[in-house]
Amino acid sequence: SAAVDAPVSALADEQIRRIRFNDIVICCLGESSACCGETHASARFALPPGQEEFLEEVLAQGRDVIVLIASGRPLPVPAAERGAKAVLYTWHCGTETARAAADIVFGRAEPGGRFPMTVPRSVGQIPLYYGRKRVAKLTKEFLIRQNYHFYDDSPLEGFHSFGSGLSWTDFVCGELKLDRSTVSAGGSVVAMLPVTNTGDRAGHAVVQCYLHDVRASYARPGKELCGFEKVLFAPGETREVSFEITPEAMGFYDEGGVFQLEPGMFEVGAGLSSDAALTAEFEVV
């Protein structure tokens, strides 16, 4: 019955005693659906008042903390990124959200979702999305070499990349290969990526393929998701995951709504998130 933005009070002595009595703390944070969504979005891009400070106090008790974040937008929670053992974004998924989150926290289900957007570090990084061309901001290493390193309090990257997410195991990707280096207009290219489960338990990898049109008559995104596969791997298993890059993925619609597929070079990347480097290329002739 509290107000939508009701401030969270500091930890009471009884709460601190309970936290110290346990080995693991599950801290549920977030905002009401009344704060984020079409026609009712809060201008403040942060947790409601007091929640970040509340989490800082919980972390200060020295216990392992799992943070659950309920929100309809990618809220940055710096304290959770610094000190929590695990962070689970539950979003606003309806009446079964609590049951689904409990299944993941207690190991009954594997966390198979991946971020559908980039999570920034602060409002100052916005707009921040995976396909955006970088403009007007050079790397810190370059600025230092040129003696142009002025005040900068944030890295270029956000907290979490589009397409990123963890499983109960770890994966390593091998070298990306293409089945051809040239293709005629209307043809397809197959990208192949070996992936290995390096952990000691089975798990799903969400393998993603990205494409970049190097030069076109219209400025194209820095990279575009052109395919993904969710694949189950046994412990130690290596499998080759393939993607067919079709003409529909290579082309675009111009301002008149006409589909265009122009000749030229294309770069391809594949991996476990949008951080995948563009390491292979082919030419449409």
| pLDDT tens for each residue of 209-248 | 999 999 999 989 999 999 999 999 999 999 999 999 999 9
Domain boundaries, the chain: 13-105, 171-284
Write the pLDDT tens digit of every residue in 56-72: 999 999 999 999 999 99
Question: What is the spatial distance between Cα 210 and Cα 99, in angstroms, rounded to a whole number?
Answer: 34
Question: Looking at residue 227, what is its pLDDT?
Answer: 97
pLDDT for 200 beyond 60: yes
Write the pLDDT tens digit of every residue in 159-184: 999 999 999 999 999 999 999 999 99
pLDDT for 5 beyond 70: no
pLDDT band at 273 (very low <50, low <70, confident <90, very high): very high
Does the pTM surpass 0.75? The reply is: yes
Most confident listed range (121-125, 135-139, 189-193): 189-193
Homologous superfamily, domain 13-105 = Glycoside hydrolase family 3 C-terminal domain (3.40.50.1700)
Question: Looking at residue 9, what is its pLDDT?
Answer: 64
Across 30-41, average pLDDT: 83
pLDDT band at 1 (very low <50, low <70, confident <90, very high): very low
pLDDT band at 2 (very low <50, low <70, confident <90, very high): very low
Nearest Cα to Cα of residue 155 among 46, 220, 239, 76: 76
Q: Cis link prior to 120 (omega < 30° from 0)?
A: no
Whether CATH 2.60.40.10 fits 171-284: yes
Write the pLDDT tens digit of every residue in 118-133: 999 988 888 888 888 6
Query: Which whole-number Å values give the CA distances from 14 to 20, 27, 151, 218, in the listed order?
Result: 10, 16, 43, 62
Question: What is the spatial distance between Cα 89 and Cα 157, in angstroms, rounded to a whole number?
Answer: 19
How is residue 193 annotated by DSSP? E
pLDDT for 136 beyond 60: no
